[in-house]
Amino acid sequence: MATIEEALEIERLERDIFRGASTKTQLPRTFGGQVAGQALVSAVRTVDPRYQVHSLHGYFLRPGNPSQPTVYLVERIRDGRSFCTRRVTGVQDGEAIFTMSASFHVGDAGPVHQDEMPTVPPPHDLPDAQTTLAPERLWAMREWEHWDIRTVPPERVYRRDGQASQQQVWFRYRHPLPDDPLFHVCTLAYMSDMTLLGSSKVNHPDEPTQNASLDHAMWFLRPFRADEWLLYDQNSPSAGFGRALTGGRIFNERGELVAAVVQEGLIRTPRDA
């Protein structure tokens, strides 16, 4: 299957117009993480290198066709001394399938604090998902064969009082990646859409649902590498009316909080044909 370099590949067609590659996939629609990652790469290509991505907010508007490339239209909303902002629209067949705002910051000095990383088993004590998934789920590991994903067993998840639904996942890219920090940010944007909506199904494992990402927001807090272990500490504080709110904090192995994610997703009961 596609490497992350292939999945995030874009071609510049005009000053602010880009075309993302379509890659081999088993999915019936374009993976949301790939659309978000390619949109972010497009925005990065229009920003001075001294600015770093600090946040993005995206909406998945229509399912993408994975056999077709997506064209990304970038709008230069603002270029300031400390911050700059871009808006990106992903288009297929003349219709918007995704829209995203991304903000960039040069970085400043200021107060520092962060939450503590939860106490969880280290990734090396957990089995690779490729060796533990049921046969009917092995297609997922073929789709993302370049990722090492290790889910913390429910009985070993660090539980916080009052939280309705929790899930914890270690992950990393299996192969060395370029040193460019922005490439790691775009790689994490790709990966952040994976497994997160599953935190809303922890309490409903046998209930059939139609699932899809609706919107996605990320904040990049500290430098990190996506080819080193990252803990995705996930929760779903609410589900109802066919939608679920989910969130995640991403820590590196040193306990540094490197990113935060919030997503609302569709988890509705399948409609009768």
User: From its phi and psi, is residue 28 left (phi > 0), alpha (psi between -120 and 50) or beta?
Assistant: alpha
CA–CA dist 121, 199 (Å, integer): 18
Give the active site residue among 193, 199, 234, 236.
Answer: 193
**Is 199 an annotated catalytic residue?**
no
The β-bridge partners of 60 are 98
In single-letter form, the type of residue at position 242 comes to G
Sign of CA dihedral 172, 178, 179, 184: negative
Phi-psi label, residue 175: left if phi above 0, alpha if psi -120 to 50, beta otherwise? beta
- 3 and 146 Cβ atoms separated by less than 8 Å: yes
In the residue annotation, 125 being an active-site residue is answered as no
Q: Phi, psi (5° rounding) for residue 189?
A: -60, -40
**HSE of 248 in the Cβ direction (CA atoms, 13 Å)?**
32
92 is catalytic: no
Tell me the H-state helices in the chain: 4-7, 32-44, 129-132, 138-143, 181-191
Measure CA 261 to chain center: 8
Q: How many CA atoms lie within 13 A of 128 on its CB side?
A: 13
Catalytic residue from among 42, 103, 167, 263: 263
The residue from 192, 213, 234, 236 that is catalytic is 213
Residues marked active site are found at 193, 213, 263
